[in-house]
């Protein structure tokens, strides 16, 4: 009877914990109503989301659009939050980010002020960034973490097949830490993943596989695959999620981020970014991490 009593107590405590976590949940729009419906209405906080697909399938476009929408007020589909954008593949375009923000009525100055950008093309820098995440979240008031892409530095620096298991374990640990932070701080967390050629017998049905295979597939709460269709049309599909059905959503890539229609209203011509101070603001995180990286490298060489 004691065991049953304890079990009921833990069950009730678990239910209360879930209720409290649900109260803390917040949501942002992806910029596309169709894609929002794929996430059961909007992108949830406290969840780790993986976007996987081949080149030009729309991964970065979704990331940039979410970097803008998270800054919107609650009534417009945002949380008035700041962005930590970790770029490992040199795919971030500042003017495109400002253009997307302009679409949602955000001013250039606030778009720059709300963005913490780190260029982490080397594995060592990416490791330092992961270590600094808790501090960065508190220091800058971050509400969304975007990593585009998680595997690019490893692909460049560790290309031998016998290094693949080590890469998997390392990424498993990194993503586990990001996921824990997303849950604890109720952050939005999105990372992109690349695909590898499938040489198995089922390759005719699945020509590409996510990098990391099934080993990393259990880490994200929501795994979304992206596929190129005709022209600028793209298709997103829920590949893995404990509570969402396997459904698809179609959207378009445009000059103002992802959109439900291929046609969009032209925006006013962007003003050139003349203020060097504003641009250097985006590089503060990189300069700090680069300095630490060079110090470590010097110690190891010496």
Residue 52 per-residue DSSP state: E
Q: Using a pLDDT cut of 90, give the percent of the chain over it.
A: 52
In-domain check, residue 19: no
Tally of domains within the chain? 1
> How far, in Å, are 37, 147, 215, 219, 301 from residue 171 at the CA level?
29, 12, 10, 10, 26
Containing 178, the helix (H) or strand (E) segment is: helix 164-185
pLDDT digits (tens, 9 = 90+) for 213-272: 666 778 999 999 999 999 999 999 999 999 999 999 999 999 999 999 876 655 555 665
**CB crowding 30-44: b at 16 or more within 10 Å, else e:** bbbebbbebbeebbb
Distance, in Å, from the CA atom of 220 to the CA atom of 272, rounded to the nearest integer, reads 38
pLDDT digits (tens, 9 = 90+) for 36-49: 999 999 999 999 99
Containing 251, the helix (H) or strand (E) segment is: strand 248-254
In-domain check, residue 9: no
Greatest distance between any 2 Cα atoms in the chain: 73
> Which domain covers residue 64, as residue numbers?
26-301
In-domain check, residue 16: no
Q: Give the global pTM.
A: 0.81
CATH of the domain at 62: 3.40.50.300
In-domain check, residue 10: no
């Amino acid at each position: 009877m004691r065991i049953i009593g304890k079990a009921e107590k833990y069950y009730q405590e678990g239910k209360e914990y879930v209720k409290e976590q649900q109260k803390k949940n917040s949501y942002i729009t992806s910029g596309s109503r169709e894609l929002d419906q794929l996430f059961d209405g909007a992108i949830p906080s406290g969840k780790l989301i993986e976007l996987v697909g081949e080149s030009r399938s729309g991964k970065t476009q979704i990331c940039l659009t979410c970097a803008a929408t998270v800054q919107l007020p609650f009534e417009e589909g945002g949380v008035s939050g700041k962005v930590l954008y970790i770029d490992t593949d040199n795919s971030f375009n500042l003017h495109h980010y400002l253009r997307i923000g302009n679409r949602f009525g955000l001013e250039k100055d606030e778009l720059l002020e709300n963005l913490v950008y780190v260029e982490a093309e080397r594995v060592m820098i990416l490791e330092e960034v992961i270590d600094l995440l808790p501090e960065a979240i508190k220091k800058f008031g971050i509400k969304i973490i975007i990593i585009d892409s998680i595997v690019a530095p490893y692909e460049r620096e560790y290309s031998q097949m016998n290094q693949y298991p080590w890469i998997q374990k390392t990424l498993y640990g990194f993503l586990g830490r990001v996921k824990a932070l997303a849950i604890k701080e109720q952050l939005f967390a999105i990372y992109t993943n690349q695909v590898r050629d499938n040489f198995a017998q089922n390759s005719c049905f699945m020509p590409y596989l996510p990098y990391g295979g099934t080993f990393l597939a259990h880490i994200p709460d929501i795994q979304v695959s992206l596929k190129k269709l005709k022209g600028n049309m793209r298709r997103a599909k829920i590949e893995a999620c404990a509570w969402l059905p396997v459904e698809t959503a179609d959207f378009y890539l445009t000059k103002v981020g992802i959109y439900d229609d291929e046609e969009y209203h032209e925006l006013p011509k962007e003003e050139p970014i003349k203020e060097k101070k504003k641009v250097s603001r985006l590089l503060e995180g990189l300069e700090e991490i680069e300095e630490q990286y060079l110090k470590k490298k010097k110690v190891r060489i010496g």
